[in-house]
Structures are given as C-alpha cells and as structure tokens.
Chains A and B, each alone.
Chain A
Amino acid sequence: MELTRDEEAALKGEYGETLALAYRILVATGEATNSEKLIPIEWAHLSGVNYNTIGDAGEEFLSTLSKDARVKVKTTLNPMGYDIDSVSRYDLDENFISKQESIRKSYERMGVTPSFSCIPYDIFDLPGKGTQVSFAESNAAIYANSVGGLKTNKESAFSALASAITGKSPYSSLRKDDTPNITIKMKVENPNEMMYGMLGYFAGKVGETSVAISGVKEVDHRSCKSLCGGMGTSGTCGKFVFGEGEKDSEKIDFDKKEAQTVFDELNTTEKGDIVTLGSPQLGLDELHDLSLMLKGKSFTKRCMIFCPRSVQEQARKIGYTNEIERAGCDILSDCCTCLTPLINKDSVDGVTTNSIKGAYYLKNSTGVDVNLKSLSDIVKEETK
C-alpha cells in the first residue's frame, strides 16, 4: 500500500504514539485487503463498547488511549451493557457498572457521540449517496451499503476506531467494487420479518462480500433490518442488492428446507421465560406498530424492548410508550439483546425472540436457550 509522506511520518511515530498505532492498524487492514491507498471517510461507527464483550483488557486499553486520542470525524457508538435509568432493578454487580462507566467516559473523552445504538441509520441523517464511512457494527454496515447508498467495509472494532482517529480508511473491497458474485433466489412465499432474518443468516454463510437476492419485490423496514442483522451475524458478507445479479454468477435457492436448517440451528427450546424485542434495536416506526399491536393486550411474562435513547424520548412525547408499558413491557435504551448482562443464564433458561441475530448471541455468548417466533406470533401467543 502506498502512503503519502505525511501518513508515512504518522506511522513512524512523528505525530505521537496514538496516531502511529492508528496507522499501524490501517496499514495491516490495507495490506490484508490489497488496498493501494488510504481515502478520507466522513463518519465512523464504533463497536467494542459493552464491558461484557471487551473485558478488562479492552477497558484498560480505551482508558489509556483516551488520554491522548481524539476523533477526527463524526463518530457514533454501539450499545453498552445496560440502561442507567433501570439498572438498579436488575441485579448487576458493581464491578460491571464501574468498568462500563469507565468505558463510557473514555469514549466521551475522545469526542465520540454517546449514541449507544446499533441502528445509527435510524437515528442520524445519512450523508449523500456514495459517501465513504467506516461502520464496525455489522448490521449497520450492511444497511449503509445496501439501503443507505453509503460505502463501507464490514469494519472491525479497531479498524473503525483507527478510521475515527485518522479520518481515513484503506480503499479496498466493498469501497471499490461491490459487484455481487452470487445470487440467492428467495423462494419462500409471504415471508415475515423472521424469515428475512433467516434469509440474511443463510446469505451471510454462502456469500463472501456481496450477494444479489432475487424473488423479492418490496421489503418493509422491519424485515430489512432483520435481514441486515442476520447477514452480519453469520459471515463476512457486507452488502446485498435486490435483483437477478450478474449473468454468470452462481445461483442458490433459499426455500423452506434452507429456512428450516437455519431455524433448527438457532431454535433450541419451545418456551421462553422472557420475551425480547430489538436486535437490531427498534426504531420509532417499530414502536408505533407495537403500540397498535398491543392495544388491549398484556404480556404474560417479562418483555424487554430495546431501542435507542433518542427513539425512546420521541416515543414518550408522542405517547407510543403508554400502550407498550401498559402491556407490561420494559423499555430499555443504550443496550441491546446481544450480550447485555441483564439477560443471563442464572436468571433465565430460555428467551423468546423474533431476532435471528439476537438468537445467535443469546445461544452462543449468553448461553441460554432460544425460542424463535415471529412478532405476530409473539403478540398472539405471549399476551392475553
């Protein structure tokens, strides 16, 4: 990879340790993806916020880094472990809270916007088509490329952090060429949002960087988010386009049989002790839908709903939250189904959810059983 004289100097440490570290990461990821040069990016979205995922080493790294590092471009942030407003109602140990607070402060010291959301595309205005960004949250990267018209690779926590500090990223892979090399034929009829999540999970396994999906006309926002979430979980693929794809590309069917395979991999129980909605977090339109669906109904078990803080504030003003809370739901911000310590195997055996992404991490990281059910079935079967 060719570096400018200035970039070379930064890599050698002439502008300090922090920039040298950031450039070391960019050079490694650039070499790994056969990039020729670095290009400017306008927005970085970071992962690596939840103490549950980055641990003591991550917390100490960020604490040291933030003494000196400042972000150079707009930088937003993934969810952390809990919602400070309700954390006292959950039995969370003090060590977790103090470490999580340290992580939050480190990011704020670096100048990061404390959005604590995995759906930046739902809560911030998107820049113009073709803008280069650097998103580490996989569902957000896929959404940005596939729906938002932006350009990003499926960044890692450190490559996005290096981009935030330098305002640059290697020009490679999806930033350069996003032609799908495989076409997935969607053959399941009348798919709901959970089916789109399973389609995404399947596509992530068979696709490498970009896939075409045929047989799909229009997808509502909820199903689209579910597709992005599923795809980001299972592999390296960072983009989808609806259509037939390239003529000579490989074609693979996604039919009931393939859907059943995904379902059987992730569904491990017939009954959940709690219900969770929101992985990716729910947007305002989804809270609106939910408030209508829950009219006159009440959940028969605890239901946790995850959404960004700004969405919760708006929903409160409009009044969507009244019906949702009356139905017995806990509305939580700044955190998400995935790897929140609020859900753990000491307190629950199984979780009912419509999220494929949530199911994967509940099963593999949290270590609880998963009961997969579409949103309409959840409302039908888990409320009275």
Chain B
Amino acid sequence: MMSKVIVKGKTQGKILKSNNPINFLGAVDKKSGIIKDNTYDIYNKSIKGTIFVFPHGIGSSVGAYTIYSLKSNNSAPLAMICTKADLTVASGCALANIPLIIVDQKEFDSLENDSEITIDTNEY
C-alpha cells in the first residue's frame, strides 16, 4: 500500500467513506460524531468508531478542536485515512492520538464502505 503515516497507531474496524472534503467545525457534531451538513454524501451518519476515509479537511482552523472534542466525548473515529493531509486534520489527530494515514488516489478508490480493515502503522 502506497502510504504515509502521520499519526501512529493500531486498530481494526469498518470503513465509513466520504468523497466530500470535510469541514470538521461546520459539518460534524462534536458530541455525537454525526454529519450534520446535508450536502455531504454521508449526511446523518456517525463517524464514531469507524475507520473514517475522506479526501482531506477544509475550512476553519478550529476544526482541530472538533477532532479533539470528538475524542473526549468518545465519539471519534478509530482512525482516519485521507489522500492529502491538511494541517487541521493532522494536528487534531496528533493531539487526540487518532491514527492518521495518507494514501494515494488508487488506494483511496479501492477502499470500500463497510469493509473491515486492520490498521497497524508498524507495518508501513
């Protein structure tokens, strides 16, 4: 797998995939992890306890606090996989200790919703 580890970790879970760039401050409920922006393809779904796969983060720099809040509220994803790491997602995951991996487009395209995967950054 062509990838780069931004935040290390080991976990296992089901993929929740979005093709929309994610504005954490504007679109994710920090208590429940539910996507509240109705223009998103995963509207009303919760990112809690998933391997959250999305292209990259956008929008407010305060979105990093949203990621930290999700972790504090036990509503964070188990890990995140993006095609491009932006500073908001990278710093939020670093502080919240959520494994974060960057993959290329081909790898991103091959990741399927609901499929079970294991992540162990020691293997990369």
Contact = CB atoms under 8 A, between A and B. Distances in A.
Contact of B61 (A47, A235, A361): A47
Contacts of A21: 95
Contacts of A235: 58-59
Given A25-B95, A31-B4, A32-B86, A137 B61 contact: yes
Contact of A138 (B56, B60, B100): B60
Given A57-B30, A158-B95, A236-B56, A32 B61 contact: no
B78 to A, nearest CB: 17
Interface residues of A, number: 40
Contacts of A365: 25-26
Given A28-B94, A32-B85, A364 B65 contact: no
24 contacts: A27-B94, A28-B6, A28-B90, A28-B100, A31-B6, A32-B87, A32-B90, A47-B60, A47-B61, A55-B65, A57-B65, A57-B71, A61-B72, A154-B61, A156-B86, A157-B61, A158-B91, A158-B92, A160-B61, A162-B91, A233-B59, A235-B59, A236-B58, A364-B37
Nearest to B91: A158
A159 to B, nearest CB: 5
Contacts of B5: 31
B43 to A, nearest CB: 13
A240 to B, nearest CB: 17
B72 A57 contact: yes
Most buried by A among B5, B62, B87, B95: B87
A53 interface: yes
A155 interface: yes
A33 interface: yes
B68 A364 contact: no
B87 A155 contact: yes
Contacts of A236: 56, 58, 86
Nearest to B94: A28
Contacts of A156: 61, 63-64, 86-88, 90-92
B94 A158 contact: yes
Contacts of A32: 6, 85-87, 89-90, 102
Interface string B80-111: 00000111111111110000101000000000
A29 B26 contact: no
Most buried by B among A50, A57, A236, A365: A57
Contacts of A153: 87
A236 B86 CA distance: 8
A56 B68 CA distance: 11
A111 interface: no
Complex A-B, nearest 9 residue pairs according to Cβ-Cβ distance, in ascending order:
A32-B85, A28-B94, A158-B91, A57-B72, A32-B90, A57-B69, A156-B88, A136-B61, A156-B87
A160 B58 CA distance: 17
B73 interface: yes
Given A28-B6, A56-B72, A236-B56, 15 more contacts: A28-B93, A48-B64, A50-B62, A53-B65, A58-B68, A61-B72, A136-B61, A154-B87, A156-B87, A156-B91, A157-B61, A158-B64, A235-B59, A236-B58, A360-B26
Most buried by B among A25, A27, A365: A25
Interface string A7-33: 000000000000001001101110111
B35 interface: no
B20 to A, nearest CB: 13
A287 to B, nearest CB: 26
Contacts of A364: 23, 26-27, 37
B76 to A, nearest CB: 11
